[in-house]
Homo-oligomer: A and B are copies of this chain.
């Protein structure tokens, strides 16, 4: 048992840090660190920079154009990226559909889809949830009927994050109504430019456009876009859930956010003293800091466990989202009454107008509101506790 990083790991960290220092554009760094409005071009630019370095897919094996890094390297990379102010890479392609394609797709599909993901040319989004199928995902009704060498897709998906930018969507669709609801589901890749697809924005409670409804009206999808076997989609979806290990806890992001929060607490004034000298605020900060440390080490413990995370990954999802939400809450609270102001224009890089309170206060309440999604999306924390009680505890 040794909780220190090896010299090789430390050297790797230094290499990543140096690369970031040399290659992360200042405007991108500024945008991320000031928590300004996310931007498609920014994400694509950064993905391209990483791709050119050969680091486009930190979690993929080398054979598909990935880095071939081990889990600890992946963690180090993510953490350094977050601390440097790099934007998050897009999970939907890199961490969600790609592992499914690698594992269950045929060679043609791998050759066709993986390069566009790692280079950032193709923007992917996820078509899982439907208005009537949220936590109870298996009750989904979007149908795909086989007609010759195509599927005809009809139905509606919702909560499609960043679908407005997407070139492709990976969907769970119903190809059969026989047997249990889980049994008639297939995993289909759909070109967002296909006629019959309509994307409608859902405005989030912070006033931002991040999620969408996606409507399918007789959308013709080539049968070659089916992953694996028809009606086996539920198996692939569950694989995906189990596969998603490190991203769940989001430790790198939260460590960067904690660093920021500590800085903010030193900058914001509480009467004649810095806020950090307010015992009550500082105690809560300390509590959160300890919880984040526990999460970080638990992630490392799970990742280095030969048995793999299994359903215990639900712990990471629960704690990761709870800690993240509290971080944003404290950032808002640090802003005090000034956090109330909703200055939409100030989320752009070139904003130079008036604001209420500090630069940090500006995005803080909106971010806090937005982050309530963390405990709802991706399998609500209630569902995660169901998973623990059923699969881990056998209740």
Contact = CB atoms under 8 A, between A and B. Distances in A.
A279 interface: yes
A280 B280 CA distance: 8
A283 interface: yes
Interface residues of A, number: 3
Contacts of A283: 280
Interface in A267-286: 279-280, 283
Interface in A240-280: 279-280
Instruction: Report whether over half of chain A's contact residues are helix, strand or loop; otherwise say mixed.
Output: helix
A279 B281 CA distance: 12
Contacts of A280: 279, 283
A279 B279 CA distance: 8
Nearest to A283: B280
Interface in A165-194: none
Contacts of A279: 279-280
Interface in A282-308: 283
A279 B286 CA distance: 15
A351 to B, nearest CB: 39
Interface string A42-64: 00000000000000000000000
A66 to B, nearest CB: 48
A285 to B, nearest CB: 14
A35 B302 CA distance: 48
A254 to B, nearest CB: 25
A283 B281 CA distance: 12
A340 to B, nearest CB: 25
A278 to B, nearest CB: 10
A297 to B, nearest CB: 25
A271 B242 CA distance: 51
A159 to B, nearest CB: 26
Nearest to A279: B279
A280 B279 CA distance: 9
A280 to B, nearest CB: 7
Interface in A332-359: none
A283 B279 CA distance: 10
A312 B302 CA distance: 45
Nearest to A280: B283
Interface of A: 279-280, 283
For the complex of A and B, the 3 pairs showing the least CB-CB separation, nearest first, are A279-B279, A280-B283, A279-B280
3 contacts: A279-B279, A279-B280, A280-B283
